[in-house]
Amino acid sequence: MVPNEIIENLERIALKLRLDILEMVGIGKAGHLGGSSSYADIVAVLYFHKMNIDPKNPKYEDRDRFLLSKGHGALAQYAALVELGYIPREEMKKTKTLSGILQGHPDRNKTPGIEANTGSLGQGLSIAVGMALGLRLDGKKNKVYVIVGDGELAEGQIWEAVMCANYYKLDNLVAIVDNNGLQATGPIEERFNIYPIAPKFEAFGWYVREIDGHNIRQIIETLDELDNIKGKPKVIIAKTVKGKGFSFAENNPAFHNSVLTEEQYLRAKRELEAQIAKWS
Amino acid sequence: MVVANLREAYGRTLVELGAKNRDIVVLDADLSKSTRTILFQEAYPDRFFEMSIAEQNMISVAAGLALVGKIPFVHSFAVFATGRTYDQIRQSVCIANLNVKICGSSCGLSDFGDGATHQSLEDVALMRVIPNMVVLVPADANETKKMVKAMVKHYGPMYIRINRNDLPVYISEDGEYEIGKLYQLRDGEDILIIANGVMVSRVMEASEVLEKKGIYVRVINASTVKPLRKEEVLKYIKGVKGIVIAEEHSIIGGLGGAIVEMLRNVKHSPLEFVGIKDKFGTSASNYEELLEYYGLTPEAIVSAVMNLIKG
């Protein structure tokens, strides 16, 4: 049983990450608010609890790997890297500018802590498969975690990677589907409806768990459970809310890649700060 | 004339290198018998990854392997290794500048029987346009061997295009291959001929014919299409009456394109291209017949040279 203090601390961190996301989106500039905030709780658990990493040494050899196949959601990962000290805090206001190191999509050569260049959808899961294969070949115990979007599951390459991971029985690979239900132009079931997701992965030989992607305790317990599953790749289908934590943006496709007004920005900041204040 | 098979030379060199360098891993998309990576699979089964008929995944998996320190060599037919996977090569491999080596086997028209779907006449153009990518086109089995060794020695994404058939051997097996160097195979002062791949042997044949007519050609093997060194190109274009560029590739975007781009603000003598004139391939009963059909023959080179001489 994970102690309540740990859960509460991670909940606080997840709020902090959302505040950082808000800072990076800023006022009057476009930013992927919705798809960054939907998996922020998962990022909080992985970076601040689960993964074996050393923020002082981003290239620490035995680190677990975190990949963001849905690269447009980079702001949540950037927030974690800022809070852990990989990235200087002042970089946040320079997001997506020529003078900054935070690109619109993750870039390993420009940003410390980023493992691969992702964002052309469908490729990150394959890159994760390659990392898992290579680490296993070297007899290493590191794990590879990869966040995949639900809309991204329409990419054919995802299913090539799904079959490949099963063929090689990659039990050092954990995929997490950020199932926020919305893609850029609308609900995923009104596009190439990917539902039901779980039986598709099961049919391809993966170990599947479905969770509430905003329930910190459930995220931790599921990730711990997966450590004991051997001989097959694993996927967590995390039911999430796009725009989670931003009252006006929740479940609203308009906030996929949105411009915030000053009023929206201040309201979001007020709401998040009020919640953080409740904790302290 | 001694002939040797480039695929076989390629496959054997990988095995040889794999013995010394444990980081080399090989991926193939269900074509290992044809690309000859089966030799590596037999020698080091744990470092060979069958990637099945899923080329896009294969390239991104190779990117992942490179990210944990491996040197992946990735294989398919040239047309699939570059066309079907263009986005993966650009996004997963080249933006990150990863140490992934891509082998396009059965390149050009060399898969003569399979027709347009399997013949790659655009692959050099596709790979050349991507930043960070090195593009290599060996002329024979010896050059293939030396080139594969150089690919391991130098970091970064690279594309090598391998002919399916036995080709005459013109290159010595001694010495190391230097990526980016232009190799002079013959000297002459009338016309400069720059070629690579199978066209090198055609050009060497043509130059014998031309010599009998009293025309002396300078033959350059441009087996590195990218990076091209401007100072070397400038050195060789001096003093000749004309330049012929010969390649088993579309005349759009290949070696000819690369050289003309480089010469855009340099005074140079008239140019002729011998290559595929914006066409797809087609099935034929043998390679020679197909090369002839598209005008990739010693005769076509002789005639291009004669046109330049006449002015």
**Residue A21 confidence (pLDDT):** 97
- Beta-bridged to residue A66, according to DSSP, are A145
**Residues in chain B whose Cβ is within 8 Å of chain A:** 25, 46-47, 49-52, 54, 56-57, 59-70, 72, 87-88, 90-92, 95-97
**Residue B270 confidence (pLDDT):** 97
Task: Tell me the one-letter amino acid at B178.
Answer: E
Q: How many CB atoms lie within 10 A of CB A101?
A: 17
**Residue A253 confidence (pLDDT):** 86
Cα–Cα distance, A21 to A248 (Å, whole number)? 15
Catalytic residues of B: 55
Mutation site for A-interface testing, chosen from B26, B27, B68, B74 by largest number of A Cβ within 10 Å:
B68
The pairing of beta strand A258-259 with beta strand A30-31: antiparallel
- Beta-bridged to residue B72, according to DSSP, are B25
pLDDT tens digit sequence for A6-34: 999 999 999 999 999 999 999 999 899 99
Closest CB to B60 among A115, A123, A138: A123
Q: How far is CA A266 from the centre of its chain?
A: 25
Torsion angle, alpha carbons of B193, B196, B202, B206, to 10: 10
Closest CB to A160 among B54, B62, B63: B54
Q: Which CATH class is domain B183-310?
A: alpha beta
* Phi (first) and psi of residue A57, to 5 degrees: -135, 85
**Residue A110 confidence (pLDDT):** 97
Chain A residues with CB inside 8 Å of B76's CB? none
Q: How far is CA A187 from the centre of its chain?
A: 20
**Residue A256 confidence (pLDDT):** 86
Whether pTM exceeds 0.95: yes
Q: List per-residue pLDDT tens for chain B, 311 residues long.
A: 899 999 999 999 999 999 999 999 999 999 999 999 999 999 999 999 999 999 999 999 999 999 999 999 999 999 999 999 999 999 999 999 999 999 999 999 999 999 999 999 999 999 999 999 999 999 999 999 999 999 999 999 999 999 999 999 999 999 999 999 999 999 999 999 999 999 999 999 999 999 999 999 999 999 999 999 999 999 999 999 999 999 999 999 999 999 999 999 999 999 999 999 999 999 999 999 999 999 999 999 999 999 999 98
Q: Please enumerate in sequence order all residues whose Cβ is within 8 A of that of A128, keeping only pairs 6 or more positions apart, or say none.
A: A65, A67, A69, A144, A145, A146, A161, A173, A175, B64
Cα–Cα distance, B135 to B271 (Å, whole number)? 23
Q: Which two tokens mark A178?
A: 């950020």
Of the candidates B171, B220, B202, the residue with the CA atom closest to the CA atom of residue B302? B202
* Phi (first) and psi of residue A20, to 5 degrees: -65, -40
Do the domains spanning B3-168 and B183-310 agree at the CATH topology level? yes
Contact between chains at A134 and B25 (C-beta distance less than 8 A): yes
For chain A, give me the number of helices (H) and strands (E)? 9, 9
**By CA distance, what is B87's nearest residue in A?**
A120
CATH number of B3-168: 3.40.50.970
Chain B residues with CB inside 8 Å of A156's CB? 56
> Shortest Cα distance from B261 to chain A (angstroms)?
29
* Phi (first) and psi of residue A173, to 5 degrees: -115, 125
Cα–Cα distance, B268 to B72 (Å, whole number)? 41
DSSP string, B189-250: SSEEEEE-TTHHHHHHHHHHHHHHTT--EEEEE--EEESPPHHHHHHHHTT-SEEEEEEEEE
Q: Which two tokens mark A266?
A: 């201040």
Contact, B151 vs B101, CB < 8 A? yes
Max Cα-Cα span within chain A: 53
For chain B, give me the number of helices (H) and strands (E)? 13, 14
Mean pLDDT of chain A: 96
Q: What band does A280 get if pLDDT is binned at 50, 70 and 90?
A: low
Of the candidates B93, B76, B87, B81, the residue with the CA atom closest to the CA atom of residue B7? B76
Please report, for chain B, the start and end positions of each structural domain, with discontinuous segments joined by +: 3-168, 183-310
Contact, B243 vs B269, CB < 8 A? yes
Of the candidates B43, B44, B61, B39, the residue with the CA atom closest to the CA atom of residue B52? B61
Cα–Cα distance, A18 to B186 (Å, whole number)? 67
Q: Which two tokens mark A192?
A: 């190439």
Chain A residues with CB inside 8 Å of B63's CB? 116, 123, 126-127, 130
Cα–Cα distance, B129 to A170 (Å, whole number)? 35
> Shortest Cα distance from B9 to chain A (angstroms)?
27
Cα–Cα distance, B15 to B38 (Å, whole number)? 10
Closest CB to B54 among A124, A128, A164: A164
**For chain A, what percent of residues have pLDDT higher than 70?**
100
Torsion angle, alpha carbons of A203, A209, A214, A216, to 10: -150
> Shortest Cα distance from A161 to chain B (angstroms)?
6
Q: What is the 3-state secondary structure (H, E, C) of B26-69?
A: EEECCCHHHHCCHHHHHHCHHHEEECCCCHHHHHHHHHHHHHCC
**Residue A278 confidence (pLDDT):** 84
| Burial class of residue A250 (count of CB atoms within 10 Å of its CB; 0-12, 13-18, 19+) | middle
Cα–Cα distance, B70 to B66 (Å, whole number)? 5
Identify the DSSP state of A218.
H
Structural domains in chain A, CATH included, are 4-279 (3.40.50.970)
